[in-house]
Structure 1
């Protein structure tokens, strides 16, 4: 696979993951999917709370910044396309959640990138069975990367 990640930093945060880490997490999430064998492109935009809130309000009608938004690319006509879509990650929300959940910041970033990439691949967590499947995939991917189960209770 040839992966191109267009990393856009629109955040004042200083503790952001390196592009190489983001690429590693995306690659792990793509393993076993149709995108693993060819070229694939996606954008990862890291934002602060104001932009995160604006986008969440505009696209999900929720007036707060959320951790990650996924925008899968859909070609208007059938064509061979290598563009998977866009991820928007809100750095202050990720940092706040990591602290609240007592998780290492890097591990939570890995979780958010994997989670968002799985959304780009069509996974969802609206229905209980979908959520269980997606969480199982996330756990498998993250533990294969050396991170703890993101859904384990603190202290387990």
Structure 2
């Protein structure tokens, strides 16, 4: 239902909990009748964002991860991931050189690139010692640039 309040889930930032976060995402996408391909792309983007938090946000100890998920009036999935780990502003990550060969390309950085390709919007804020990243996904995805 468009404009639905959705769900919020807080769990240990641990790979064992990844599936529970993704169940929320897939449930909302299914409820809005997103097509299977779009739903899978969104799940992969959210998985990448959550795995980044799990692997990089907390250095010395495990922390918590909260994901809020809702559907806005335009049927867009609005997903917010919040953690209290090291500050990490996704908007500061440089675009990878995808035109260079694999041998000369720097390792890493493709996850954020993938999220940017799938999400219609990405916002980051540092609020009260927390990283807050919001991703917005429309049913059809971003329009692709025209090529001649």
Is TM (by shorter chain) over 0.5?
no
The higher relative CO (CA closer than 8 Å, separation ≥ 6) is in: 2
Q: TM-score by structure 2 length?
A: 0.33
Q: Which has the higher helix share?
A: 1
- Could you say which structure has the higher strand fraction? 2
The TM-score, its normalising length taken from structure 1, stands at 0.32
